[in-house]
Structures are given as structure tokens and as C-alpha cells.
Structure 1
């Protein structure tokens, strides 16, 4: 279906048949009625000139005039009808409005040019013949007058139609572009919300992992010392006092680390009504500072010493020299060893434990292995949430490392991890 060139207002289609809107249908029907009346009146003169009954001329004029109502559906047919009846000196409104509609429609410009030329020629010929026969005038004057009338009745409606059609297409193009931009913005907003949700999930996971690493190890040692304190309280008061002091030290250390972590989380005060993505990113940036304040491999000896103080037999083997690794590598390596020792306290009380740390070119490797559990050792009864190995794996894989864990042939358990040290991350 071809358009008429009137501006599209973006409303939904509510017109009958091929009309987009009821208003357009009413306009075309009205124009068809006016054109039918005009052609009917002109049909009277045509009937007298052709020697036909007046009723025939009137009916013919009405049939020609009402075709203007079809201008939106078949603009080419309307123009051809106007050209065909031009010798009968009828269809002024039909010809002008038909040419305007043709110019605004989606008809190829070559077709529009051909039909416009035919209409111009037909109008010129009819005007020339009628003027030459009605008045005694100079032939040049007749030609000039005929050209003027032909141009006046043909060119202005075509030019106006071309302008309106181009303007309408421009508005449609701008509307399509605006709709496309709106869809893109909506898609970007959805993606931003997804990234924000992902960042929030990552932060929740990371905070939970940090809380687990900080609390689980200290509390596990506290439970071990408390069990030993209960066992020797009556037999060896001196040892009981030593264990009690160790429990107090462990508790204070756990509280200190918790306060430091909470301090990092409270470092950035939230601003009023921030965007969800901004909240997640700000939390990620703020919490990332925890790497700088977290533990490092330099504290590994102290970590092993705490397990030894709790009665565990731990062998520490460090090979190579550290080269000042990035904070995230130092902390991740420390946490892996810490969590592995915590699991030894929970699941292998009394077993011998071997901690190995190797500084290699471009990477640092660690391994914690415990032997078979000593059946005579007292079971500390430590609860397990089942997230220790998961947390270690997430930490290592997050830095692009390799993590392997599983039972050994001797009946123990081994945790191994390798962390890469990229040149861009070196301090």
C-alpha cells in the first residue's frame, strides 16, 4: 500500500480498509464527494458538446470524480484517469490532488516523472486547443497562456508532494533511529543490571570466603586448645593456664581480623540513592583494598607455629626465595595454606602434616599434606560447612592458577595449588 504524504503521528491503525486512520478515510471520502460534484457539473457541459444526454454526462462525471477517494490505494490509476478525462474539461480537483498524492507516495520517481510529463502535456494540449478556438488571439500568446496554465496546474502540486513525502520519510527515519537507540539503551541497561548483579554476587561470595578464612582457622585452634584445656585442667594447671592464654590470644586475633575486614567494608560511606551498578563497583573497589592489609607469605611461619602450639606436628619446607609477589597472590597463597591446616585440625587430628612452599620462575606453588589420622587422638568435634575446598579452588582459579585436592595412597589428604605471577602484577 502506498502512502499519501500526510505526516504520520505514530498512532495505532484504526481506519477501515486500506486507511491507517479514520481521519484519513473521512478526508478521502470528502474529497471524492467534492470531486464527484465538480465532475458532475462539468459533465453537463461535456454532454452538450458531445451531443449526449445530460444524465449520461452527469453520471460519467460522478463516476470519474469519486475515483479520487482511491488516491491512497491506487495513486497511479487516479492520475491516469485525470489525464484521460482532461479532453472533456473535467476533473480539476482530481488532477491536482492526484498528482500531489502520486508525488508523496512510494511510487518510483521515474514513474512519477513520466506521469507528470503526460499530465503536463495533456493539460497544455487541451488548453491550447480550447483557447485557440474560443478567442481570436496571437498564436504566441496562446502558447504562452497554455504553458502557464499547464505548469500552474501540474508543477506546484508535484513539488509540494515531493517536499511532503521527503519530510515524512525523514521523520520516519528519525523515528526508527530513535526507536533503535531506545532499544539499544534498554539492552545496555539490562546488561548493566546483569553486571551489577554479577558484581554483587561476586562480592557476597568473596566476603563469605574471607569471613570463613578469618574465623574458621582461629576458632578451630581455639576449640582444639579448649579441648586440651579441659583434658589437663585438673592434672597440669600450668599447661592449662598456657592453653587458656593461647585460647585468649586466638580469640583476640580473630576479633582483630574481623574488625579490620569490617573496617574495609565501612570505609566508603554510601551516597544517597546510588545506582545498583555503582554500588556493586564501589563495593568491589573498596573491598579490593583488603588485599593490601591482608596476610602475606612472610607470616606463614607464624601460621604454622599456631598449629604446632595446638599440638599438631607440622613440617614446613620452603624452597626458593620470594620476589615480592602482588598482594592478591600473597594473600591467596596464605589463605590456601591456612584453610588446609584448618581442615587438618577438623578432619585429621593427631596426623602429621607437611607444608611445602616453592618459589619458582613466574609462579609460586604450595602443598599441604597430612598423613593418616591417629586413632588415639581426641576428636575435636569441629563442625564443617563443606565450603573450605570450594573457597580455596575459587581463590586459585580466580587468579588463573591450578588447584588439585584429594586423598593420598597412604590414607591421608593432599591440597596442592600453583599461582602464576604475571610480570604486569609484580611489585
Structure 2
């Protein structure tokens, strides 16, 4: 369907009509009015001394102007006022005044033309009836006023009512369309927010899985390589490395079970929805993901054990702590731990045999961490660990999500350095 109510593929309404049925209705009214005026044109021609054909033709043309009532309502009313002395155009005057009052014509113009029509009808009625009831002039005036009011006021009032009702319906329709557009926009935004939440949750889970699996498995591979190298020469050390590999595997499985338990746990009732801003800062986006699932996560107190695991794997690691140790928010401690963990994992992958320094600084309002490795000594064999290229990306996302600063890159001495600063507020 089109805006005019016509079925697509068919011809639209003709000329100025909005709908085809409006055209049919106006043509029918125009035909009736033309026949009426043509009939009234016969006595008019006799009074004016004109041929009957001229009177009939004149009345037909005058009555047919009613077809134009929607296009030019003022012109139709003026024609009705002009032919009122000829005592023709009853339907033309009534329908014309109704159309004028219900249209978008300014009210002052409607009032002016309605007054003119009322006066013209009163004068014509008075002039035609005063000769019939000469004994009672008051009756002539009362009758003339009654006829003038009856032919003018009801059409005007009804037209004003219909026009006001039409404008009200159009206003309500516009408001309904506006609300529908707003609801559609809100639905689209809700879908976008839901998709963003799903994507952020997938990213968070992938980041946690990477941190848990990559570090543990990397240490297991390193210990397995050492086990293979000393299995024959030093059985005691081989047994120790085998025990370490088992411990690493059990720890990795424990952390994976805890993570899967969180994913399988029933979700808590969602809080009342709040309108989302049109612009969400990147830091806030990452913060939502970083804040999820921080319960029972690692803390800064476990850094010594983390460094000890790397030492047990044969890496030379020095840990330096500056400032007074303090307890921070769970997400801050977990993020700091994961940054150091991932940095040590990268050292195992890309810098075997290199000396590593882990620095942790407690400052006013922030905690800083740095993991720096020197150049490889070339003696230690490459562990052959695969790298997905997501470690540095995950660390950066975690740190920026809490409003911190993250920097990584090679050093002048040929090593690599990872630095992060997290606000503790």
C-alpha cells in the first residue's frame, strides 16, 4: 500500500485528491449540485428575461463548481455567495461552507466568508419574503434570520469540528509513528548493547583462558624439555621435574575447573536496566569485562609463588619490591598478577636462558609493575612454544580497562620490557 491508500501497481488518485473515493464523492456531489442549480436556473432565466437554455446552462456551470471544493474552498464559497441573489445553489452553499471550515484555511478568512454568506442569505430571504407578509415585518425579519442562520452556522460548526478532529487524529498518528520509530531505535540499541556484551564476555573468557592455560602449559613444556635432557644423567632431577610437571598440570586443571564452574553457575537476577549512553569510552568497555569474574582470582600475594615456579623451570628471575605492601581492589590485584604472569610466559617462549627482573612498586594511589628480560644467552634451547600474538593485546586491554597505562617494547640492551601502572582508587 502507498501513503494515499492505493494498492501498488494500480493508478493513483487523479489530480488533487488524496484518495480515489474522495474524487468519486466530490464528482457525485458536483453532479447533484449541477442538476439542482440547472433546475433553479429556469425561474432565474424567466425573471431576468433570458432564454431558458441560458439559465439552465448557467445553473449547471455554477453547481458543477462544487467539484473544486477541496482544491479551492474559498472560490467555491465566493461563487455560492455571488449566486445567492438568483436563489440557486443551496447544496453549493452548505457544502462549500462546511468544506471551508474543515480545511486548513486561516480562521479569520473562514469567519469573514461565513459572515458574508450569512448577510447575503439574510438579505436575499428578506427581499423575497417581505412582499408575501406585508402585514407583519417582524415575522419577515425573524424568518430571514432563522433561514440565514440555519444555512450558515450548522455547516460552519460541523466543519470546524471535523477539521479539529482530523488534525487531532493526524497529530496522534504522528506521535504514534514517532513512538514506533523511537521503540525501533531503542530495540536496535538494545540489540547492539547485547551484542557488545556478548562480544566483551567472549573476549574476557578468551583472555582468562589464555592467561591460565598459556602460563601453566608453557612451564610444563619447559619442565618436560628439562626432564628429557636429564632423564638419563640425573634421575633425581628428572624425578623432580616430573613432579613439577604434574603439579603444573593439576594447577591448570584446577583453574580451568573453577572458570568452567563460574560459566555454568546460574546467573544472578539482572538489575533494573538503565539507559545506556550513546558513547561508551573504551576504558569503561574494558572495565566491565575486566571486572567480571574477579572473585577468587589471583592476587599480588601470589607473585612470589609465581616467580618461584619460573625459577624452578630454570629461569633466572629476580624480584624487586618497592614501597609498602597494601591490599588493593580485587580487579587491580588480579590484573597486576596477570600482567606479570603473561610477561613471564613470554620470557619462557621468546627469551630462554635470559635473566629476568620483576619490579613491583607501591606508590600513592597506584601500583606499578615491570618485567624486563635481558638478551638470550644462546645456550638454552628454544622451547618451541607456539605464540598466538594475543598476550600483549590481552595485557593492554586489562590495564586500559582499569584506566591504567601500559607500555611494551624492546630495550637498548637487546631484551624486552613490559611496564604497567594501575590506579588503586
TM-score band by shorter chain is: over 0.9
**Does 2:190 match 1:192?**
yes
**Cα RMSD after superposing both structures:** 1.9
Give CA deviations for 1:193-221 in whole Å, capped at 9, x if unaligned. Answer: 11111111111111111100000000000
Tell me by how many angstroms 1:321 deviates. 2.2
Give CA deviations for 1:168-227 in whole Å, capped at 9, x if unaligned. Answer: 000000000000011111111111111111111111111111100000000000000000
Tell me by how many angstroms 1:322 deviates. 3.1
Instruction: For 1:310 and 1:71, locate their aligned partners in 2 and report how far apart those are by CA, in whole Å.
Output: 97
Is the Cα–Cα contact under 8 Å of residues 32 and 67 in structure 1 kept in the other structure? yes
Equivalence for 1:396: 399
**Does 2:116 match 1:118?**
yes
Secondary structure at 2:412 match in 1 = coil
Tell me by how many angstroms 1:323 deviates. 2.7
Q: TM-score, with normalisation over the residues of structure 1? A: 0.92
Is the Cα–Cα contact under 8 Å of residues 265 and 287 in structure 1 kept in the other structure? no
Instruction: For 1:226 and 1:320, locate their aligned partners in 2 and report how far apart those are by CA, in whole Å.
Output: 37
Instruction: Decide which of 163, 166, 170 is 2:164's aligned counterpart.
Output: 166
Equivalence for 1:88: 86
Could you tell me which runs of 5 or more consecutive residues in structure 2 were left unpaired when the two chains were aligned. Answer: 270-274, 276-286
Instruction: For 1:62 and 1:399, locate their aligned partners in 2 and report how far apart those are by CA, in whole Å.
Output: 86
Equivalence for 1:58: 56
Aligned residue runs from structure 1 range 29-108, under 5 A: 29-108=27-106
Equivalence for 1:219: 217
Instruction: For 1:266 and 1:10, locate their aligned partners in 2 and report how far apart those are by CA, in whole Å.
Output: 55
Is the Cα–Cα contact under 8 Å of residues 290 and 401 in structure 2 kept in the other structure? no
Give CA deviations for 1:29-56 in whole Å, capped at 9, x if unaligned. Answer: 0000000110011000101111111111
Runs of 4+ residues over 3 Å off in structure 1:
284-289
Instruction: For 1:290 and 1:368, locate their aligned partners in 2 and report how far apart those are by CA, in whole Å.
Output: 25
Tell me by how many angstroms 1:324 deviates. 1.7
Equivalence for 1:341: 344
Q: How many residues align?
A: 404
Equivalence for 2:283: none
Give CA deviations for 1:98-138 in whole Å, capped at 9, x if unaligned. Answer: 00000000000000000000000000000000010233331
Secondary structure at 1:385 match in 2 = coil
Equivalence for 2:284: none
Equivalence for 1:374: 377
Equivalence for 2:201: 203
Secondary structure at 2:131 match in 1 = helix
Instruction: For 2:6 and 2:362, locate their aligned partners in 1 and report how far apart those are by CA, in whole Å.
Output: 71
Secondary structure at 2:130 match in 1 = helix
Secondary structure at 1:194 match in 2 = helix
Secondary structure at 1:418 match in 2 = strand
Instruction: For 2:424 and 2:136, locate their aligned partners in 1 and report how far apart those are by CA, in whole Å.
Output: 102
Equivalence for 1:3: none
Instruction: For 1:21 and 1:411, locate their aligned partners in 2 and report how far apart those are by CA, in whole Å.
Output: 82
Aligned residue runs from structure 1 range 115-154, under 5 A: 115-154=113-152
Tell me by how many angstroms 1:286 deviates. 10
Equivalence for 2:174: 176
Structure 1 residues 270 and 292: alpha-carbon distance in aligned structure 2, compared to 1, 3 A threshold: closer
Structure 1 residues 96 and 125: alpha-carbon distance in aligned structure 2, compared to 1, 3 A threshold: same
Q: TM-score, with normalisation over the residues of structure 2? A: 0.92
Could you tell me which runs of 5 or more consecutive residues in structure 1 were left unpaired when the two chains were aligned. Answer: 1-8, 272-276, 278-283, 423-427
Tell me by how many angstroms 1:165 deviates. 0.2
Secondary structure at 2:294 match in 1 = helix
Equivalence for 2:319: 316
